[in-house]
Amino acid sequence: MAVTVPLAQLPQSLGPFEAVEAAYPAELTAIAEAVQRGLPVLIECDKGLAPFLWRCVRDRLKSAGVQSVYLNGRPDPTAQAGPMAAGIVATMIGQLRDAVRGATQQQVIVIPHLDLLTTSQGGLTAEAREVVPLLYENPNLVWIGFKDPSMALPKVIESLFPRRVAILGIGRDRLRHVITEREARKFGREFNPYALYTFVSGQHAARLRKILPAVTGEDFPSDPRPAYDQLRQATQSSEAAVPNIDLDRDIGGYAQVKSRLRTEILDLLQERAKLDDPEAITRIEQLIPRGMIFWGPPGTGKTLFAKAMATALGAAVTVISGPELKSRWVGESEERIRQIFVQARQAAPAIIVFDELDSFATARGTYTGSGVEHSMVNQLLTEMDGFRRNEMVFVIGTTNFPESLDPALLRPGRFEFQLHVPFPDANDRRAILSVYNEKLSLMLTDDAMEYAVRRTAGVVEGGTSRFSGDHLQALARSIARRRIREQSTGATDIADVEHALTAHLDLPRLTPTEERVVATHEAGHAICALHCEHAPPIERISIRGDLAGALGFVQYGDQAHKYVTTRNQLIDHICILFGGREAEALLLSDLSIGSGQDYERATGVARGLIEQLAMGADARVWPDSEGRHPEREPSEPTKQRIEQEVRELLESQRRRANALLVEHRAEVEALRDVLLERKVLDRASMTAVLAAQHR
């Protein structure tokens, strides 16, 4: 069986009531049969569809000899109006009271605005408290109630309806019955309901009868995309927009992230669009995850990747801030989640992005606030479980802390696809800067580009976070602003990059004596690092106070091994930490407070190596100060032995650092002197200084 439908098999003309009958035959039959059996029915649908649905149900009930009363809230035109006209709710309550107390035999009562009897948070209004007893007063009545999908009903009202029918959008198998032959000509010589469904899955039949006739263009076009674009504009909500972020053109680097996004999502959807076998299409749709977690450090582009995915799919994006979603009013947060999902399904294809998902979707049982988070998670799970598999609606949650998310969110069928977006490595940074170099016309020289890549290998100046994509964008924008201010038309060189990185910093003003201490300290770190086999490469040394909030800093490049840390690396790290302290003792015969901080860090590494990583003589893990690894508490002799081993490890690496500095004292002094002169050294300058000592 083919996907496409010959145009001759489509209706020649179609009104809205005919379309509703053709779109929802099973639902209409189920409603009418339940009412005839005396079962109240709650119909959840868009308010624009409710009048059409009711007329179709009424006609079926009439043919079965069942009469009904429709409480529309409109005043009786024959009644004399009072000095003040009653509102729709008051009028509806009056009509309801008359119907309940006047019925002596079984009768069907229809309430088209049932959700008006509640507050927007699903609680009972004063009017509703009057209505509830009426709903339960007369057992001879059979109720048909209509409610909006985005609004909740109180349990006391919901429990009145043993049968519930939800109608949101239209089923793909019924789409061929609500488009006429003339309208289908705008999309090609054969009608492909699968292609059309991508853009109208959330539109009900009555609304489709307004949208489809408005599509203009030639019949049987060679390219139907303009017709689909018109549908996209007609169904797109005001709160969502289709972004224009190309995965390759606008996002630099991250080849592995892009590859996974393509192979597991985008390529499958493209393959689905090529198929002409309904069964094969259904199999692919069942494989595509609808919920995704994009996780990683702040500023790495998680939301940007979501927008790039939306661009590739032609999907509208709604970005929701998790913290802003929470409300102190009972039920308001859950209602907002319902509204978001309803709007996204109506605007399909669509992507909902919950930014900072962990702000409300942390593991249940860990909440310390009002408890609204528990209800929000439940509502989110309910909405995600209500998706049709063939709907083009995706939910993406971004977070910096995936381990804190509720496990119920991560099971298959919900947020089953997880994408890690890490800090950019050297290749990623080069690609990101290349994107901004072209977009902002920075005219970076090759040397300036490579310097920027190396310079952004460590932590952000003045902070503790590594350079992310956002930081690189800020660097590029700073360069661009300066070029505009100075009306520069030449190339951007290394000095321009350095100025953009440091011009905004409030640098400390050190005295000559203080500078000498800092320069000696950092030279000691650097020389030890150069002569430790397992240390990462040095990219830059500064004594300007411009890195990580310290007076001086040795910035290291990207490590060759990112995922495995060895015992030798940790031991070399301890030795390097002692380098600054031992250099001060050797050349200044004094110690600064900074050397004490290094000693504290070295002690932490040594203690972790022995107590937590099982790399000591006992080769086992001991409980830490937070109670992790709750094994048997070590005896006093064992504790003393552990303390002795920590002291011996620290002392051995202190002596090692001292020996390296004594052996290479000339290099330490040369590096210190050049640092005092230049304040900052990059890798090339440092290499030249040290090479001069060996001539």
**Which residue is listed with tokens 């390296």?**
660
Cα angle value 350/355/356 (rounded, 5°): 150
Q: Which amino acid is at 400?
A: N
Phi-psi region of 73 (alpha: psi -120 to 50; beta: other; left: phi over 0): left
* Beta bridge mates, 492: 444
**Rounded alpha-carbon distances, angstroms, from residue 643 to 84, 578, 637:** 88, 19, 10
Cα angle value 260/265/268 (rounded, 5°): 115
Q: Which two tokens stand for residue 122?
A: 């699903």
Q: Which is catalytic among the residues 383, 461, 522, 667?
A: 522
Q: Cα(624)–Cα(630) distance, rounded to whole angstroms?
A: 8
Phi-psi region of 487 (alpha: psi -120 to 50; beta: other; left: phi over 0): left
How far is the first Cα of the chain from the last one, in angstroms, to the nearest whole number? 82
Long-range CB pairs of 227-235, under 8 A, 24+ apart, other chains included: 227/186, 227/187, 228/187, 228/195, 228/196, 228/199, 231/196, 231/199, 231/200, 232/199, 232/314, 235/199, 235/200, 235/202, 235/203, 235/211, 235/346, 235/347, 235/348
Q: Cα(166)–Cα(158) distance, rounded to whole angstroms?
A: 13
Q: Cα(65)–Cα(75) distance, rounded to whole angstroms?
A: 27
* Beta bridge mates, 110: 70, 144
Listed in sequence order, the residues at least 6 apart from 553 whose beta carbon sits closer than 8 Å to its beta carbon are: 522, 541, 542, 546, 547
Q: Which two tokens stand for residue 184?
A: 């289908």
Q: Cα(316)–Cα(234) distance, rounded to whole angstroms?
A: 12
Known catalytic membership, residue 522: yes
* Beta bridge mates, 418: 293
Nearest to 378 by CA among 367, 388, 368: 367
Q: Cα(40)–Cα(164) distance, rounded to whole angstroms?
A: 9
3-state SS, residue 313 = helix
Q: Evaluate whether 374 touches 418 at the Cβ level (below 8 Å).
A: no
DSSP string, 633-695: PPPHHHHHHHHHHHHHHHHHHHHHHHHHHHHTHHHHHHHHHHHHHHSEEEHHHHHHHHHHTT-
Q: Evaluate whether 384 touches 428 at the Cβ level (below 8 Å).
A: no
DSSP string, 646-662: HHHHHHHHHHHHHHHHH
Cα–chain-centroid distance for residue 429?
A: 22
Q: Cα(235)–Cα(342) distance, rounded to whole angstroms?
A: 13
Which are the catalytic amino acids? 522
